[in-house]
Amino acid sequence: MAGNTYGQLFRITTFGESHGPALGVVIDGCPGNLSIDLDFIQAELNKRKPGQSEITTSRNEDESFEILSGIFEGKTTGAPICMMVRNNDQRSQDYSHLKDVFRPSHADYTYQTKYGIRDYRGGGRSSARETVARVLAGAVAKLFLAEKGIFIHAYVSQVGTVKLQTTPEQIDVSNIEKSMVRCPDENTSNQMIELITETGKRGDSVGGAISCIIKNAPAGLGEPIFDKLHAELGKAMLSINACKGFEIGSGFDAAQAFGSAHNDEFYVTETGIHTRTNNSGGVQGGISNGEPIFFKCAFKPVATIRSEQQTISNQGEEVTLLASGRHDPCVVPRAVPIIEAMSALVLADFVLRNNAIN
């Protein structure tokens, strides 16, 4: 109810602040007897980690996790799974200069107004470091989905004005991790890296977009009316820090389309019922139709930049702010595993919801 829980049946609750003792998640509702591959979870976590490449921040976050409950002899028991990551550099930095200032386009002002108090150290609860917990939970959801043959692939499709031109069906997912920016096309990837590097040198930040394709999801996932599959995907993605837009299938392009061209005609093959086009993005009437599910998310440039900005203090006085330390000039590459994690959580939940009535 207070917003820290996601999902109905495969349900997660995250906790923790950027500079508190730990960040973690409780997964409630994961079925029993699922084998938990610890190395896989760690690998997922590493994808989100800062300092992976020359274009990301070098903050040395410790990303080793601990399982506190719910796993017995390598398998889930049906009991809640709590996993956490300790914050090592909890007290290493001085954040007192942020105590009284509302940073532009951050959550400082809104948290202070809502709660009458805020943990100002590194953004506290509003820090993107909270997504560590989502990635942990998403990794378990991925293991659950993998047993059903469902796989999720997100990749960077835009950085600033550099856009990937290929469609989701055309991309080779095995190329994603080969790219420092997680763009599966080498040429586009290089242009993105160049733009990010330049932007970083200027002390600025730049936005981008991530596309995602979900393969082998069976028809029938999603609930009609309010909890449509793409509505939940939309909510899940928009809940990620800095995400400003979401579109499924043809998305905003659909606004200028004509029905005669946009409709996805059905046909039958040996493998079952399919559609000749996939403007629906795999979802019709809010429910998956067995085609690949794909969607795209827009991300704003990170708010923290190494340039002077005008803003105000707690007391309403005008102040000039200059961020210290190193910050990612573009977070989109590191948001890829978070998009996948949230997608996995949405899908796992709908699989269980569909089980319930079948």
Cβ-in-10-Å burial (0-12, 13-18, 19+) of 300 comes to middle
Task: Report the residue number, 72 or 170, with the smaller CB distance to a second copy.
Answer: 72
What would the two tokens of residue 256 be?
């200028």
Contact letters for a second copy, residues 335-354 (x by CB under 8 A): -----------------xxx
CB atoms near residue 95 (< 10 Å): 15
CB of 296 to a second copy, least distance (A): 8
Task: Report the residue number, 28 or 42, with the smaller CB distance to a second copy.
Answer: 28
Contact letters for a second copy, residues 252-281 (x by CB under 8 A): xxxxxxxxx-xxxxxxx----x-x---xxx
Query: In the set 49, 90, 312, 326, which binds a second copy (CB under 8 A)?
Result: 312
Contact letters for a second copy, residues 5-44 (x by CB under 8 A): xx-xx-x-xxxxx--xxxxx-x-xx-xxx-----------
For residues 262, 245, 229 and 254, what is the CA-based torsion angle, rounded to 10 degrees? -10
For residue 131, what is the enclosing H or E element? helix 131-146
Picking from 18, 7, 263, the residue whose alpha carbon sits closest to that of residue 132 is 18
**Number of residues this chain uses to bind a second copy (CB under 8 A):** 145
Q: Which amino acid is at 224?
A: P
Applying CB under 8 A, the span of 42-50, 114-122, 185-193, 333-341 interacting with a second copy comes to 114-122
CB of 328 to a second copy, least distance (A): 11
Q: Are 14 and 130 in contact (CB under 8 A)?
A: yes
Q: Are 350 and 232 in contact (CB under 8 A)?
A: yes
CB atoms near residue 273 (< 10 Å): 12
- Within residues 80-109, the interface with a second copy by CB under 8 A covers 80-82, 84, 102, 104-107, 109
> Is 198 near a second copy (CB under 8 A)?
no
Q: Are 120 and 55 in contact (CB under 8 A)?
A: no
CB of 190 to a second copy, least distance (A): 18
Task: Report the residue number, 44 or 130, with the smaller CB distance to a second copy.
Answer: 130
